[in-house]
Each structure stands twice: as C-alpha cells, then as structure tokens.
Amino acid sequence: MGVESAQFYAADTGGSRCLDRKETSYSLYGLKRVNDTSFHIGDYEALKNAALDPYTAFRNAYIQNRNSKIAQ
C-alpha cells in the first residue's frame, strides 16, 4: 500500500480520527529527514575533524551545494 492510498488512524481524547494525506505526507517526510540526518552524523564528525577551520569548511560546502542546486 503506497503513501497516497494509505489512511492512518490515531487515538485522541475524542476517539479516533483519520489523518489525511497531507498530515501523513508531512509526518513521513519529517521522519525520513531525521532518519537521513542520523546516517550522516559520521560524515559531519569526519569533516569537522579534518578541517583546519570547521566554520570555513562547512560554509564552503554549503555554498558549493547551493550553487549546484541553483545550476540544475
């Protein structure tokens, strides 16, 4: 069953309520982002330890990533 066709029910004080597709989509997106971030913590630590100046390294990485996304 795909996310588009799924309906989720959650208990609250008034009984149960159906979570609509938008709520479900936002919830699953948030869960995915947190999960993806947890897998990249090692990358963050490695870059921080390898850089002479971590602020400059992260700033440059951000700028390169942003320019790449703008160019697409």
Angstrom distance (rounded) from CA 16 to CA 35: 28
pTM of the entire predicted model: 0.41
Angstrom distance (rounded) from CA 47 to CA 44: 5
pLDDT band for position 16 (cuts 50, 70, 90): low
- The length of the chain in residues reads 72
CA 6 from centre of chain: 21
Q: Percent of the chain beyond pLDDT 70?
A: 72
45 and 54 in contact (C-beta within 8 Å)?
no
pLDDT at 30 over 90: no
pLDDT at 47 over 50: yes
pLDDT of 5 reads 38
DSSP letter assigned to residue 52: S
pLDDT of 3 reads 41
pLDDT at 17 over 60: no
